[in-house]
Homo-oligomer: A and B are copies of this chain.
Amino acid sequence: MGCNMENFKHYIPTEIKFGKGVISQLPDVLNRFGKNILLTYGGGSIKKSGLYDEITGLLSSNSFIITECSGVEPNPRIETVERGAALCRENGIDAVLAVGGGSVIDCAKAIATGTFCEGDLWNMVLDSRSGRRSLPVIVILTLSATGSEFDNKGVISNISTKEKYSSVFSYPVVSFCDPTYTFSVPKYQTACGSADILSHAMEAYFSRTDSSEISDGLAETIMRTVIHDLPAVLENPDNYDARANLMWASSLACSGILDYGKLYPGKTCHAIGHEFSAVYDVTHGEILSILTPRWMRFILRKDPSVAPRFARFARNVWNLSGENEYQLAEESINCLEDFLGSIGIATNLTSLGIGSTDFDDIATHADLRGRCSNSYVPLTHEDVVQILNDCL
């Protein structure tokens, strides 16, 4: 028996425009705010795919004035936030348009709030709270992964202090989610994004609350969707329905909806993973994919009372059957590991050239907000270091 369902708050005022060709509505949306647009994006992928030309053409022919903030890093840095906020102030920007995946959107949110903040913007990142003044953020999503298009969070890195912080900014006003924009995402990024979706669903699912049936059922749906549609997309990158399901899965998985009613959703792997990418320039989804099965094996051994939840995971997500719940639990972790080993991303730290040098620091930072010691199965500092060693 689990605990009673916990209270929760649902509030996501973002409008999602989902499907082929929704971009045609972009000028109408931007016209609500004004003509001066900060166009935020990463490297050259949107130029190669033609999306950059499509957007700038659409904006120019509708008399918008574009200021560019390009070169947002895969783990966006505070210096880029400073640069973007300065551009907004200098150019009287009316709205920030983010074209990209989670990193670009996170950075755009920080820029939009940072525009109205004085002094060192790293303090603005650390001073995480909702309701701060912000320019409107509009998103054109090109990667199904972090769900930043449908939440108010942004993760910003400070390389000089080796910190990576998830801060609360504002919700995007409108997010344009056209699955065809993800057709050109390379297999590696597609797989990393899906690993991130899967991790969000799993970290919500593994909780002490058994009775929050809708959160659990939706998490199972999202996990099955990734397991079904990621291989389909790796085989045929232009599979519209599979790309569409992954895209909507990413928005829902990371929105908090899967946590509703649940106690200690225990985002242990995300906590450790974020610290990792504060130290190394590793891809978020890849590090989660390495960590998760090791974390699962560790907590199952440390506290076998979690076996029934893993057995449910085995039955409802992996279609396994059997009576012995501990055995089912182990098989479910094998299935997950096999799946993650089949999608073309790293399965251990060694292959990424990462050794144990920083494990102690990473374990310390990961638990700063109790996200390891106060989680599904509480972990000590030594436990976290052990899990990291298991990842080598």
* A:167-221 near B, CB below 8 Å: 211-214, 216-218, 220-221
- Interface flags, A1-38, vs B, CB<8A=1, else 0: 00011111111110111111110000000000000000
Give the distance in Å from the alpha carbon of A19 to the alpha carbon of B212 in the complex: 12
A225 within 8 Å of B (CB atoms): yes
Give the distance in Å from the alpha carbon of A15 to the alpha carbon of B4 in the complex: 22
A: which residues have CB within 8 A of B?
4-13, 15-22, 211-214, 216-218, 220-222, 224-225, 228-229, 240-241, 244-245, 248-249, 252, 260-261
Instruction: Please give the distance in Å from A231's CB to the nearest CB on chain B.
Output: 14
Q: Would you mind naming 24 contact pairs between A and B with Cβ atoms under 8 Å apart?
A: A4-B240, A4-B241, A5-B241, A6-B19, A7-B19, A7-B21, A9-B15, A9-B16, A9-B17, A9-B18, A10-B15, A11-B15, A11-B16, A18-B260, A18-B261, A211-B245, A213-B224, A213-B225, A213-B245, A214-B222, A214-B252, A216-B221, A220-B221, A248-B261
> Can you tell how many copies of this chain the complex includes?
2
Instruction: Please give the distance in Å from A238's CB to the nearest CB on chain B.
Output: 12
Q: Which residue of B lies closest to A5 (CB)?
A: B244
A220 in contact with B217 (CB, 8 Å): yes
Q: Which residue of B lies closest to A229 (CB)?
A: B213
B5 in contact with A245 (CB, 8 Å): yes
Instruction: Please give the distance in Å from A147's CB to the nearest CB on chain B.
Output: 13
Looking at the complex, which one of B5, B6, B7, B221 makes contact with A214 (CB distance below 8 Å)? B221
Instruction: Please give the distance in Å from A384's CB to the nearest CB on chain B.
Output: 32
B214 in contact with A245 (CB, 8 Å): yes
Contacts of A222 in B (CB 8 A): 214, 217
Looking at the complex, which one of B6, B19, B217 makes contact with A224 (CB distance below 8 Å)? B217
Contacts of A225 in B (CB 8 A): 213-214, 217
B22 in contact with A18 (CB, 8 Å): no
A240 in contact with B15 (CB, 8 Å): no
Contacts of A12 in B (CB 8 A): 12
Q: Which residue of B lies closest to A20 (CB)?
A: B7
Q: Which residue of B lies closest to A9 (CB)?
A: B17
Further contacts, 15 of them, CB under 8 A, given A13-B13, A216-B221: A5-B240, A7-B21, A8-B18, A8-B19, A12-B12, A211-B241, A213-B221, A213-B224, A214-B252, A217-B218, A217-B220, A217-B222, A217-B224, A220-B221, A248-B261
Contacts of A17 in B (CB 8 A): 9
Instruction: Please give the distance in Å from A133's CB to the nearest CB on chain B.
Output: 17
Q: Which residue of B lies closest to A171 (CB)?
A: B13
9 closest Cβ pairs, A-B complex: A7-B19, A217-B221, A211-B241, A10-B16, A11-B15, A13-B13, A5-B244, A213-B225, A213-B245
Given A240-B5, A241-B4, A241-B5, A248:B214 Cβ within 8 A:
yes
